Amino acid sequence: MTRGFIDGEYQDGELRGINFLVGRRGYGKTTEMNRLLSQCTGGILFFDALSKHGGMFAGYVMFSEPGRLEEYLRVNRGRRFHIMYQPRGGNLDEHFAAVCKIVVAFGWMIFGVDELDKLCGMRFGESRMPQAFYDIVNYGRHHRVSVIATARRPQGVPTGFRDESELRVFGLKPGKALEAIRTEIGDEAASQVAQLPKYQYLHFVEDEEPVLCQYPL
């Protein structure tokens, strides 16, 4: 698999730039994220917003405090690392902001974020993103950082993030979630998404026709 700075973005395995996995609970988003991350040969930092995926991502070093995370990265900078951060206790927004700043400071990694919609919202002003995460989305390539995120509620994820994303859309019920991305994927694809079974998704790449994929590929 390829790793390096390619076409202005940091790439590791299949991941380059901003990647967004959307779909109902239990339809395969996190399973697919795990597959994509397993291909990476460089650094990975996965922010487990709900602190529930410790058993799924084998071999990840666990942290719950920004200070200890930073100490570990100082020692392992430039090496292959797999880190899971679980924000146990304290304020979730503060944990996320601290981790985002660390990601930018060290660079050269894939930053995974689960349940992104829980970490964004009107409380952050016009962008609806924490400033530290906004900087990663818009300027992460300068720090050799790419992003992969999941959400069940795409309507809770800022347009500024969705517009930059390579989309993988799993099954969604007709309703607010599907309507939130209809403009981005089109009416025909939206109808198809509403009928997708578990572990199938439509993969959208800019200027290409969507591709139906199934896990395992």
Superfamily of domain 6-212: P-loop containing nucleotide triphosphate hydrolases (3.40.50.300)
pLDDT value of residue 32: 94
The torsion defined by the Cα of 138, 130, 30 and 13, in degrees rounded to 10, comes to 30
Specify the long-range contacts of residues 129-135, CB closer than 8 Å, at least 24 apart: 129/158, 129/160, 129/161, 130/93, 130/96, 130/97, 130/100, 131/97, 132/96, 132/97, 132/100, 132/101, 132/104, 133/96, 133/97, 133/100, 134/160, 135/100, 135/104
Q: What is the pLDDT of residues 28-80, one digit of tens each?
A: 999 999 999 999 999 999 999 988 887 778 899 999 999 999 999 999 988 89
Q: What is the pLDDT of residues 97-132, one digit of tens each?
A: 999 999 999 999 999 999 999 999 999 999 999 999
204: closest CA among 1, 19, 16? 19
Contacting residues for 49 by C-beta, under 8 A, at least 6 apart: 87, 92, 96, 113, 114, 115, 116, 118, 119
